[in-house]
Amino acid sequence: MTYFQGKTVWLTGASSGIGLAMAQQLAEAGAHLILTSRRAEALEQVRLSLAHPERHRVLALDLSQPEAAAEQAHHELGDQVIDILINNAGVSQRSFILDTDMAVYRQLMEIDYFGVIALTKLVLPRMVERRTGHIVTVSSVAGKVGTKLRSGYNGAKFGVIGFMDSLRAEMKQHDLVVTSILPGFINTQVAHNSLTGDGSALGHEDPDNAGGISADECARQSLQAMSKQKAEVVVGSGVSKLAPFLQRFFPGLVRRMVANR
């Protein structure tokens, strides 16, 4: 994809899942990557595995503390030009509302919502000044359709889509591109890492994600949508891909479906 050739792409959540697959495909496409997740060691292994590793750099950040992460990134990146920011880092949830601590809701919002805003605000002024740039956020179909066991995750992802819609409207006059990616069920470790009611990790897969499309295919479709500068795209297969359409035109049916799952 020539769209990414020679561009500096800041990719969060780059050490596993969709982010790792994006990193591999972006490197093959000739991008210069800034790879972010929590663990520097894992990121360094990713960097060394990519095509042209000398083009890429590692920036480990803890997005559960968004303001501190943005301040650290500002210190380390300085005035480096960012052509594309891909907000991909995130954590999911598997717990009923009655069983979920408030601290878990706050953690989900810090990473999945405020983390997006903090990094977006960091790169935005320079993009506006240059009148060029592309902000991408990997939200979720869960940002369109609320389901059981994901109340905090749904809330954060609904919020992110609203933020991105506002950003897109405000940035049109500055010629910036804003893209929201909405994956459905993707076969990654997202369920394993999902937060339970007390904040511990679930530690095992669920059948929905296990039956989803591969991370490689999700990354391919997502990068294709970015290269076409699409505003929003749903990525997936089966019911999870259809869910936003059904929610829009048949909301009563969707309410019954999610209540009976």
Choosing from 3, 105, 113, 153, the catalytic residue is 153
Chain centre distance of CA 122? 17
Assigned token pair, 179: 């893209």
Question: Distance (Å, rounded) from C-alpha 182 to C-alpha 187?
Answer: 15
Does 105 qualify as catalytic in the annotation?
no
Please give the positions annotated as active site.
153
